[in-house]
Chain A
Amino acid sequence: MTPRRQRTLVVIGILVGAGIGTAVALTAFSGNLLYYYTPTQALSKNLGPKDVFRLGGLVEKGTVERKAGSLTIRFIVTDNRNSIPVVFTGILPNLFRAGQGVIVNGHMSNRGVFVANQVLAKHDSDYMPLKLYNKENGTRYTEPGQMNRGAGYGGP
């Protein structure tokens, strides 16, 4: 084999490798996008138990219920127009609180309850709580240790 042909082979190898990489990336990509909906959007979409998505809104005051000593908690997420009841079993993020923003990952059950496998609490980046400066503040989300991913690196 001449050096030239060998180099052509190397180039073809690179292209094939990069192509396979891209194909793998795009396949994995399309299956792992999590869309974010508000309760109003979610209800208008007629989502079934197989559609995993993120639901975002406020934890409605007075709706947080927990049987003492159990890790299962129920609450209602609202965008002040529509609401969806949510059930979650696990450790809540430290910042979870009634009246605060929340994002939950999961799916709708057949009975219209959102079954969450992950809860992220929203906290204002004005967590610098003196509010010295009344700037527009963005929001951030945390959950207990950002944990509980599916297949995982990092996750147990």
Chain B
Amino acid sequence: MEPTQNTKDRITWHLACNVNDIPEDGGGCALIEGKQIAIFNFTRRGEWYATDNECPHRQQMAIGRGMIGSQGEEPKVACPFHKKTFSLKSGACLTDEDYKINTFPVIVKENKVYIGL
């Protein structure tokens, strides 16, 4: 898939959910345009992130159920299946360079979470 977040004019913003649908310092998964998008409410850092819900390691739809945290300054999420961890910023796998997930921009406005695809 071509990354779209670099070319701002081509981003379409989609309403994903309400803020309180995603637990604090946790994640969830939204169905947007037929795609499963994992959304993270990183309350501790005051940041929101969105990535693919599918873990490329075993093609499991589970990233949204993963645990978030940090490695140094880098925010990350660990897949609940085999604990592959991915940067929430770049999508790069921090434990195994063979893998990568897509990341998407997030906007939070009036308690609604929007994802840019």
- Co-assembled chains A and B: no
